[in-house]
Structure 1
Amino acid sequence: MSVEDDVRAAWGVEPLRGLWEKAREALEVASPPATFRLELPDAETQRAVGELYGRPMWGQGTRISLSKLDEATRRSRFALGLAEALEILHEQPLTRREAAERDERRERTAETLRAALAERGLATAAWAEPWTQWLRQYGRVGDDELPAVARSAAKALGALALAEPPEAWTSRSELAASVGGAHAFDNGTALSRVVLKAAALAHGVETPGNERERRALWERCGVTLDAVSATVLCWALPLVGSDDWSQGVRQRTAQGLPTHLTHLDLRAAPARLVAPGTAIAVCENPRVLESAVEDGIAHPVVCVSGRPSTVTRALLRRLVDCGAVLHYHGDFDWPGVSITSSLLAHHGARPWRMSAADYREALDQAAANRTDLPNLVGVPLETPWDPRLSELMSTAARAIEEEAVLPTLLADLRRGLST
């Protein structure tokens, strides 16, 4: 016979059954007690427990010390600790009740979240499982709140742009109202926290840690925090309308002033903004637009000021819908490449001096002028409009900001970009 068989034959007898059950019960609680109460209903139980424990047993019950019982099983001919003996006798290892309950609670949480996501067709999204695991461990949502939060979060996530740039935009208050409360997505709410976590995972960015980062992530998903704070910088837009709104923008241009348009402005704007075929220069850095204003260049310019905001994309889409032709130039760095790719793919923009030859020319000009260029950092990206550009940027490992090629861009604007 094996050692396990010997243990079961010697200790798995009826008079000791209560001892082992009580010992397991005591060891599996979150904080095991020092002793436990054991009933001794008859003489046979008293004898068996006394022989194992190492002292005579009298009366109908006694207190058993866990540490002394462990010492007794180790002193026995089997030389087993109490936990090992219980695993053999009961044919299952000890499980701390707290851990088991925690695992069970987490699994219930996961099932609730998966069911809510499945209702919105999101259960198979790449971010769904990491989000579920995060919420199980760190989401800080109470069991009683979880079903409602899961349903509301899934409904909101179904309305967000989590893979592609948004085709349309909604305000955060409208989104909140759609899930049952005007303030559901205010900063600090459980719903805001769990939805932004899913959005961060979907877009492959860090969880936002401040108001600026939260705003950027909401906008990346097609949500505006309000209709007035986000703006897009414009210069000399050749508006065709005779309405007060169009005349007001044209008056600013006549005074040599650029215009910051908000979502509220775009709501008030006429449906038709510019004539079909209008060439619009789109730049990344406000310095390009500012220089065009200072030099009195009348070519229309829109500045995206980094990654395009929701109002920027809304204006660009409106212009394209009117038949305008967008020409985009940005920084020669990997974020600039990402923005270029997005605007070309989703707004039909044309690359403006964003070829490998343009990058090489800028490198040579910087070398001739002994201008120090910043290192190119980040993960290389493809440049489908000119595959050679990505290769050359990776090789040269230097970033070129728009200001470094400003004279060339301004010369283009003076001549006018073709349609």
Structure 2
Amino acid sequence: MDSGEHVRAVLREPALQGLWAAAREALASPKQPPTFRLELPDETARQAVGELYGRPMWGQGTRISVSKLDEAMRARFGTGLAEALQAEAAGPSETAESGPEEVLRAALDAQGLADEPWAQPWIAWVLRYGRVAADELPVVARRSARVLAAMNLHGMPRIWTSRGELAGLTGDPHLLDDGTTTSRVVIKAASLAHEQAAPSNDRERRALWERCGVAPDGVADTTLTWALPLSGNDPWSAGIRQRTELGLPAHLTHLDLRAAPPRLVEPDTAIAICQHPRVLEAAIREGIRHPMLCLSGPPTTATRALLGRLISDGATLHHHADFDWHGISAAHAVQQFGAEPWRMTATDYRNAVDQAAADRIDLSNLVGTPVPTPWDPALAELMSTAARAVEEEQLLPQLLADLREGL
């Protein structure tokens, strides 16, 4: 690879797109500021910028000196910052001779997306309904393609990011706020990729973002945990362990997980997953330090992110839920991450119903649409026949006994 090709490869590096976008804005400013603010959304971006700039990067952002960045470019590639960015901007995707369709297709091609089945319908939609001004189209196309390349457009997501962090890849953390041009065209591409109708309200937009592995923000969604045996010696891990020593659970956000070390737990660590916070609270009160996660409803994006991390570490997940159709749906969701049922068989359900009758406990009627239980088909059939819901609280003694014995 010659120096010119090397420069072009670096200019197209996804982790550096925020740097190049911020540098372009600084150079285009009439005042030519000596430094500019750069968002560093994740460890990949921090490492890539640090290697290029010549010093380690920490935290969520930093200030970059234009002159020092120019010196780093000249030392590494033999060309200055302005020259490299001008050469890249004058590429075939943005020449005066390129038509609107070619601009969009070239932007997708630069990110390896031009041959996706949704690409041509998306291009046609942008040109006809996207409401993108001609002079803005090259920038919108380039930014949208970079964002789409970082999203999950196939199957279910395993890696999660916040919308602000995703937008930060282009240098503007507000780029994907609702109502912006880039947000509008990106969400249309996402709907085409996942073969569903374009969202028409906030709830549908949020669901589609989440389908693509994008959380609305980095702090609202949390996952409730207890006694995670974190293996790291870093301050973050020590802080979570300290909460356990104090008898306190930890609500982890996406930002928490971003700050966490690459490995959380040792392989084969057994993690119990419950649905009701009452179970986790009881374990804390009785001094049971078995690692636990609590769903408190459908898994949040933060919970999904944590489950993915734990499975990657080689942990084993054991899931219990209420014996109602919402609980069965939650069981399906966590089983996508390899979780194993824990006291979730037809026999467990029958015993719980019989025990409730013996203790003269009134069980709620089982309502809603039945959900299959492929791990034990007899369970769904028995639940439909008995038509009674059993909450986790009624199984608390058995669940706590399992946790004491270590599952």
Give me the TM-score of the superposition, normalised by structure 2: 0.60
Match of 1:283 in 2: 274
Deviations 1:121-158 (CA, angstroms, capped at 9, x unpaired)? 55369xx98x999x79xx97437579777887677556
Distance 1:361 1:193, change over 3 A: farther
Deviations 1:340-375 (CA, angstroms, capped at 9, x unpaired)? 223223x22111111122222233334443413143
1:317-356 alignment runs, 5 A limit: 317-345=308-336, 347-356=337-346
Match of 2:17 in 1: none
1:387 paired to 2:377: yes
Question: Which secondary structure state, in structure 2, belongs to the residue aligned with residue 273 of structure 1?
Answer: coil
Q: Which amino acid aligns with 1:231?
A: T
Deviation at residue 177 of structure 1 after TM alignment:
5.1
Deviations 1:164-191 (CA, angstroms, capped at 9, x unpaired)? 3312223313433557854332123355
Please give the alpha-carbon distance, in whole angstroms, between the structure 1 residues aligned to 2:378 and 2:205.
36
Q: Which amino acid aligns with 1:382?
A: P
Question: Which secondary structure state, in structure 2, belongs to the residue aligned with residue 261 of structure 1?
Answer: strand
Q: Which amino acid aligns with 1:350?
A: E
Deviations 1:172-217 (CA, angstroms, capped at 9, x unpaired)? 134335578543321233553565577578487994744x765454
Please give the alpha-carbon distance, in whole angstroms, between the structure 2 residues aligned to 1:350 and 1:172.
31
Please give the alpha-carbon distance, in whole angstroms, between the structure 2 residues aligned to 1:310 and 1:249.
20
Structure 1 contact 208–217 (Cα < 8 Å) conserved: no
Structure 1 contact 355–389 (Cα < 8 Å) conserved: yes
1:184 paired to 2:178: no
1:123 paired to 2:114: no
Stretch deviating more after TM superposition (282-291 or 173-182): 173-182
Distance 1:373 1:175, change over 3 A: same
Instruction: Determine which structure has more spread, i.e. the larger CA radius of gyration.
Output: 1
Match of 2:286 in 1: 295
Match of 2:15 in 1: none
Match of 2:14 in 1: none
Match of 2:398 in 1: 408
Deviations 1:85-119 (CA, angstroms, capped at 9, x unpaired)? xxxxxxxxxxxxxxxxxxxxxxxxxxx99999995
Deviation at residue 307 of structure 1 after TM alignment:
2.5
1:51-130 alignment runs, 5 A limit: 120-123=114-117
**Sequence identity (%):** 56
Please give the alpha-carbon distance, in whole angstroms, between the structure 1 residues aligned to 2:341 and 2:105.
42
Distance 1:195 1:241, change over 3 A: closer
Stretch deviating more after TM superposition (219-228 or 292-301): 219-228
Q: Which amino acid aligns with 2:241?
A: R
Distance 1:391 1:257, change over 3 A: same
Deviations 1:229-288 (CA, angstroms, capped at 9, x unpaired)? 322211111223333322222221111111112233223323333333221101122222
Question: Which secondary structure state, in structure 2, belongs to the residue aligned with residue 123 of structure 1?
Answer: coil
1:373 to 337, 341, 364: 364
Distance 1:181 1:243, change over 3 A: closer
Unaligned runs of 5+ in 1: 1-111
1:172 paired to 2:163: yes
Please give the alpha-carbon distance, in whole angstroms, between the structure 2 residues aligned to 1:365 and 1:132.
61
Question: Which secondary structure state, in structure 2, belongs to the residue aligned with residue 326 of structure 1?
Answer: strand
Q: Which has the higher contact order (CA 8 A, sep 6+)?
A: 2
Distance 1:395 1:153, change over 3 A: farther
Structure 2 contact 132–181 (Cα < 8 Å) conserved: no
Deviation at residue 221 of structure 1 after TM alignment:
2.3
Question: Which secondary structure state, in structure 1, belongs to the residue aligned with residue 364 of structure 2?
Answer: coil
Structure 2 contact 108–145 (Cα < 8 Å) conserved: yes
1:142 to 111, 115, 131: 131
Question: Which secondary structure state, in structure 1, belongs to the residue aligned with residue 272 of structure 2?
Answer: strand
Q: Which amino acid aligns with 1:364?
A: D
Distance 1:250 1:365, change over 3 A: same
Structure 1 contact 280–325 (Cα < 8 Å) conserved: yes
Please give the alpha-carbon distance, in whole angstroms, between the structure 2 residues aligned to 1:396 and 1:203.
38
Please give the alpha-carbon distance, in whole angstroms, between the structure 2 residues aligned to 1:414 and 1:341.
26
Question: Which secondary structure state, in structure 1, belongs to the residue aligned with residue 209 of structure 2?
Answer: helix
